[in-house]
Amino acid sequence: MISRVNGAAAGGYDGFMATDRTRATETAELADALFTLMPMVADHVNDRLGQLGMTTTDWWALRSVDGPMPMKDLAQCMDVDPSAVTLVADRLEELGLVERQPHPTDRRVKNLVLTDEGQRLKATIPDMLWSGPNTFSPLTDRQRTALIELVRGLIARQPGAGESVADPSAPARA
């Protein structure tokens, strides 16, 4: 919001009114807080997944596999180059979490299919990650629900990003 009075900028700094400076300052404080929080969340997740010999990339891939899934589709879900999925699939296969199976109609395509252990781990990792002390433990149930709604709402309003936040109770994004 730029306000001009008699053709000249009103409110001071580069034509922005005080409310714009306040909003920018608050937004900068919010961004700083999120930049501080996210490494704490990442450290927690990395520590817990490390106990399983997994990385966050392994977990993101595992939670994205839904039924027989062509590797190129997994690359799209993870927003990575298809060549990068080969390494991820190799790791998941080494961990006994997925199997590569031939596509039923296209012999050039390999599908990733969760093993029984992959299905079990996919179902139990969220509890393993977030039960017990964690980054969000200090929040009340009401605060946690409000934060989820705020963050999902903000992401949904970003161009092209609305589909990237999955409801943890919903199937992995496709």
- Pick left, alpha or beta for residue 9 (phi over 0 → left; psi -120 to 50 → alpha; otherwise beta): beta
Q: What pLDDT, on the 0 to 100 scale, is given for residue 172?
A: 41
In whole angstroms, give the CA distance from residue 136 to residue 133. Answer: 8
pLDDT in tens, 66-109: 889 999 999 999 999 988 999 999 999 999 999 999 999 998 89
3 versus 53: which is more confidently predicted? 53
Give the SS3 label for residue 8: strand
Instruction: Count CB-CB contacts under 10 A for residue 75.
Output: 20
Q: Are 78 and 60 in contact (CB under 8 A)?
A: yes
CB-based burial label for 62 (10 Å; 0-12, 13-18, 19+) = buried
Mean pLDDT throughout 154-158? 92
Q: Is the pTM of this model over 0.75?
A: no
Q: What pLDDT, on the 0 to 100 scale, is given for residue 68?
A: 94
- What are the structural domains of the chain? 54-131 (1.10.10.10), 132-174 (no CATH)
Residues 6+ apart with CB under 8 A from 18: 11, 12
| Nearest to 153, CA basis, from 169, 161, 23 | 161
* Residues 61, 37, 88: CA angle, nearest 5 degrees: 15
